[in-house]
Structure 1
């Protein structure tokens, strides 16, 4: 269950007021908040939420500008994963209804074209595996070549844990960005996954970071972690210094160990968005899975005005998202221009 929000005390001294300190440290000086201050941010009350979101939005505008990066994703291999991530219906260990399906190259190219038509600058190919075998790497090589030949779009990938040889191969075949989420704070990770370790995920992220590819690394919130563990996750992501952080909110899936966890409260989710922005002032912070359930239409708008500067449009891997036209219309209403492809090259 999500942790409860504590009522804020009345502050008169800027040195003790967390939002005043954050304004000086992050907005004015460009220095991210550390763990202790992030915990304090996550404990602010609802009566200061608007002020917190405005601060996060100001930080986003100062260090990232007003553009929003749009991405589409497609699953190359869905279901049948051997890992036991407790939030994921693609695990072959659970009774959830997702079963193994592979897409072929023409289907991937078609999906990339449809993604580009939304205005997206990036197309991410995802596979539900512990890590890629030679069959998957061969298919990726063919897919990236075919997509680049027919579609003006960046290709990203998310294929699980990698060896150094695979990292180098993906970079050489033209993968622009690699996604590998930490998923949860180190202290909470054993409650979320038991078939591999936090350290294994962190090592893959470090290899990607050092390869020259952009690192996309985020996590999930609302999985039963404490506020302190949310702050820990944000701090550990800041340590990796990823180019992009996708922020997912648990959408409890039937048949998984987390199926009965109540969705996160909207205001807690918005506080989390703002806290992550203050921990990662220069990073692309992307709306990912679960925002529709957790935030709804109004909350989605508030998050875009509270630190978010990228979105995944369309459906996710095993859950439905919003109609891309709705997100694009919302960005237009908020006067947020979509980041052009040539700006990402």
Structure 2
């Protein structure tokens, strides 16, 4: 397997006002988690974050909004942000993550500079009603299908540690494989006292086995370890690459803090890994 690792950064551009009841998510207004909440991050700030991500050798930059899906106001805002980033930052794979979307909305995003769309399945179809009741799993799957229809690159993954069974984990990975995504974010549940979910932080060895399983089931697709890396693997996160991951999120996540990107650079260098220079780097 290649020793090259892809880096991606996240910009939370609209935070903490989601009306859905996803039990794992601090952005739901139903649970009152103590997070920063705002509707629109200033465009200039988003552009500066993109420049910083590029300087830190990220090849992916994701514009994330809170909420079930895209309404007209959100669509205009994401398009404006995407155009501003593309004007100021070259050679950055621009990703949108804005919930459920139809083909017309996705084509509009593509026309305004979005390269990829991220929409996670989160878990298996069977287990999904245990973690969310305000919308269904099939809507998520259909959004992923819509992404492929309009020619955007698809980024879809899920979360381990929500209380799901091994059968649920395998079912989710099978569903992901059927969509043939370019990139698969693997998240590990990060508990929060405000959330009702009786999930747990996976033991590190169990988490590594799930990465190995994902690699075996997903072939040569990019596997990105995202949320929960810090609490699950600590200073032994280099082991995720031995297990089959070949991408990570650097910097902070949506509502939780990540490691210092320079620390991640040093970790990769110490263990003999090279930072990928582009999406096509092998």
TM range (shorter): over 0.9
Asked if residue 320 in structure 1 is aligned to residue 262 in structure 2, the reply is no
Taking the aligned partners of 2:259 and 2:107, their CA distance within structure 1 comes to: 35
Cα drift, residue 343 of structure 1:
3.4
**Residue deviations 1:231-269 (CA, integer Å, cap 9, x gap):** 1111111111111100000001221112x5331111110
Taking the aligned partners of 2:79 and 2:199, their CA distance within structure 1 comes to: 39
Q: 1:47-196 residue pairs with structure 2 within 5 A?
A: 61=1, 65-98=2-35, 100-101=37-38, 102-152=40-90, 153-196=92-135
Asked if residue 225 in structure 1 is aligned to residue 164 in structure 2, the reply is yes
Give the aligned partner of residue 263 of structure 1. 201
**Residue deviations 1:158-198 (CA, integer Å, cap 9, x gap):** 00001221011111112111000000111110001111000
Query: Is the Cα contact below 8 Å between 2:36 and 2:255 reproduced in 1?
Result: no
Q: Scaled by the length of structure 2, what TM-score is found?
A: 0.96
Give the aligned partner of residue 217 of structure 2. 279
Taking the aligned partners of 2:80 and 2:221, their CA distance within structure 1 comes to: 31
**Residue deviations 1:315-340 (CA, integer Å, cap 9, x gap):** 10000111111111111112221111
Cα drift, residue 285 of structure 1:
0.1
Unmatched 5+ stretches in structure 2: none
Asked if residue 293 in structure 1 is aligned to residue 231 in structure 2, the reply is yes
SS at 1:289 equivalent: coil
- Structure 1: 4+ residue segments shifted above 6 A: none
Match of 2:139 among 191, 196, 200: 200
Taking the aligned partners of 1:90 and 1:155, their CA distance within structure 2 comes to: 23
**Residue deviations 1:198-217 (CA, integer Å, cap 9, x gap):** 00000000010121111000
Cα drift, residue 342 of structure 1:
7.0
Taking the aligned partners of 1:76 and 1:313, their CA distance within structure 2 comes to: 17
Query: Is the Cα contact below 8 Å between 2:53 and 2:61 reproduced in 1?
Result: yes
Query: Is the Cα contact below 8 Å between 1:185 and 1:232 reproduced in 2?
Result: yes
Query: Is the Cα contact below 8 Å between 1:80 and 1:99 reproduced in 2?
Result: no
Query: Is the Cα contact below 8 Å between 1:157 and 1:175 reproduced in 2?
Result: yes
Taking the aligned partners of 2:173 and 2:154, their CA distance within structure 1 comes to: 15
How many pairs are equivalent?
Answer: 279
Alignment root-mean-square deviation, CA: 1.3
SS at 2:95 equivalent: strand
SS at 2:4 equivalent: coil
Q: Relative to 1, partners in 2 of residues 1:343 and 1:236: Cα closer, same or farther, differing over 3 Å?
A: closer
Cα drift, residue 273 of structure 1:
0.4
Taking the aligned partners of 1:221 and 1:211, their CA distance within structure 2 comes to: 29
Taking the aligned partners of 1:123 and 1:250, their CA distance within structure 2 comes to: 22
Tell me which structure has the larger Cα radius of gyration.
Answer: 1
Q: Relative to 1, partners in 2 of residues 1:321 and 1:190: Cα closer, same or farther, differing over 3 Å?
A: same
Taking the aligned partners of 2:156 and 2:200, their CA distance within structure 1 comes to: 25
Q: Relative to 1, partners in 2 of residues 1:342 and 1:266: Cα closer, same or farther, differing over 3 Å?
A: closer
Q: Scaled by the length of structure 1, what TM-score is found?
A: 0.79
SS at 1:156 equivalent: strand
Asked if residue 253 in structure 1 is aligned to residue 189 in structure 2, the reply is no
